[in-house]
Chains A and B, each alone.
Chain A
């Protein structure tokens, strides 16, 4: 028995050793969505090109950041994609390195906002999305974020929960519309709390909104552009609002793990992902809206993306530092005013 155990553990050791010696491995950490498309369009072609092996770890950003924190001394992941605010948080906890953009041949093709979103040189944006209000155009006209709390939509509107990605941006824009836009979002959260009974639901999954609109439960809701396609497939007249205060949204960025032994390979991979060819391919499959301004897509594709210089420039994003420093306060304010 002992002998078998010894023999098998010895085999195991030999096995892992052989694999690591064989070829270079790049470990990336990404959101667990559209992985089939990413494999076909990004991972497989990159592996063929670099002659290396790509290991992909997926999960939500909390899990993945917790993992990076735990492996800080001996990093497993070489590069990761996270939200803007999470990138700043990782930078503050010393998990990531400055990105040498001179090694990214596609860097100058990016929209200005994507080049260094947090101003710390530690992240590069690769995709973003607009957040605005989808509404039933036969029932109401939405021209301002304040309309969400107005009389016409009372009892017919869903808002995102503060815990979702769309929650804080929506509150940010409501604050802007009612003229009380402070970083603590107090004005907006109070206003939502007062109208709580007029809000049908504070959604946690945007996938449920199509059903709610189909069932006439709601006439309007703030959503990310990536959810828009589902609404256009209903037999109902729906429109994407262009509120006078502007649209909001979010950006996802690439970061480089501090202490990674494969930083050069990671930079090659980032550069590949940011290239016009790959960004176009991802856009055409409606996986990610391009951050590379040289990407050209047909109007039908553009309709379902956040696309074009003008759109991108008009997005009012919550600065990462504001989000990071106020998250906790938003939650307690929300729990006190809305969650009761």
Chain B
């Protein structure tokens, strides 16, 4: 018979070993590639990468797109989650089912669907022509807008789900109480809802941001490869240039960006609640 602490450790050991061997070790090996040249340790790969103006442009573009997708997902996500939580039980279940449904479909299939929807003969252009807004089909496909829409649709469900569970955990009478005390809807949101659901926002925001940063197929297919992103650059380094050093540098930058986003969101959420 083990003491309880030893027993707990023993129980956690298999999972910890598994994670360390299968996940952590490869990541460490991969990242160390970027810090080595022939026989010594160096950060020259990093300084070299960041000193190239093209790489900096690509970095900023990726950051901007990820931030925009996350921000809009949060806005839409709050509205949708709020509406869903206030539905009667039966309707709520159905709506959550609808939110989850896209997650069960491959991202590739969902991206291809946008080619049909946004195309010259797609429903968006058909609608625009039939109400007389335009004579010639508008070019949506293969623009930054298309990538934005594609990424938003891809990751919005994660935000909605995270916010639904956060809103569910909020005391039911918090909002009426705030209203009774004279708060307007903006105050209710910023002083009551946001602080009480910040965990959900942090989780949802991190998932959406990380997802947008690392999605490869959506920018590649909907962006028409006219706009380089960090993930397309990473793909180039590996598949064409066979350059695992730069690839590992880009991978590290992407990992840092994800962690930074998570920390930033946490900071923002706590700053609000302290006010």
For the complex, is B119 an interface residue (Cβ under 8 Å from A)?
A: yes
Question: Which of A216, A336, A339 touches B225 (beta carbons < 8 Å)?
Answer: A339
- Produce 1/0 per residue, A184-224, CB < 8 A to B: 00000000000010011111110010011001110000000
Say yes or no for B37: interface residue by CB 8 A criterion: no
A282 within 8 A of B: no
Whether the Cβ atoms of B228 and A340 lie closer than 8 Å is yes
Asked if A303 is at the interface of the complex by the 8 Å CB criterion, the answer is no
Q: Give the size of the chain B interface in residues (CB under 8 angstroms).
A: 29
Contact B121 A216 (CB under 8 A): yes
Interface string of B214-255 (1 = CB under 8 A from A): 000000110011111000110110111111100000000000
* Pick from A163, A217, A331, A336: contact of B120, CB under 8 Å: A217
| Complex contact B221–A208 (CB within 8 A) | yes
- A311 CB within 8 Å of chain B: no
Q: Is A83 an interface residue (CB 8 A)?
A: no
Q: How far is the CB of B32 from chain A (nearest CB, A)?
A: 15
Q: Is A328 an interface residue (CB 8 A)?
A: yes
Pick from B57, B142, B238: contact of A200, CB under 8 Å: B142
Q: Is A335 an interface residue (CB 8 A)?
A: yes
Q: Which of the residues B142, B241, B242, B243 comes within 8 Å of A201, measured between beta carbons?
A: B142
**Complex: A286 Cα to B232 Cα, angstroms:** 32
- Kindly supply a per-residue 1/0 record for chain A positions 299-340, scoring 1 wherever the CB is within 8 Å of any chain B CB and 0 otherwise: 000000000000000000000000000011001000110111
Q: How far is the CA of A200 from the CA of B137 in the complex (A)?
A: 14
- B236 CB contact (under 8 Å) in A163, A203, A212, A216: A163
Residues of B within 8 A of A331 (CB): 236, 240-241
Q: Which of B54, B141, B142, B238 has the most CB of A within 10 A?
A: B142
Evaluate whether A217 and B141 lie within 8 angstroms (CB atoms) in the complex, with A211-B115, A212-B115, A336-B54 already known. Answer: yes
Give chain A residues whose Cβ lies under 8 Å from the Cβ of B121: 215-216
Whether A204 lies near B116 (C-beta < 8 A) is no
Q: Shortest distance in angstroms between B240's beta carbon and chain A's nearest beta carbon?
A: 5
CB distance from A317 to the nearest CB of B (A): 18
CA of A212 to CA of B220, assembled, Å: 15
Interchain residue pairs with CB less than 8 A apart (6):
A62-B238, A204-B225, A211-B115, A211-B116, A215-B115, A339-B227
B residues at A contact (CB < 8 Å)? 54, 57, 112, 115-116, 119-122, 141-142, 220-221, 224-228, 232-233, 235-236, 238-244
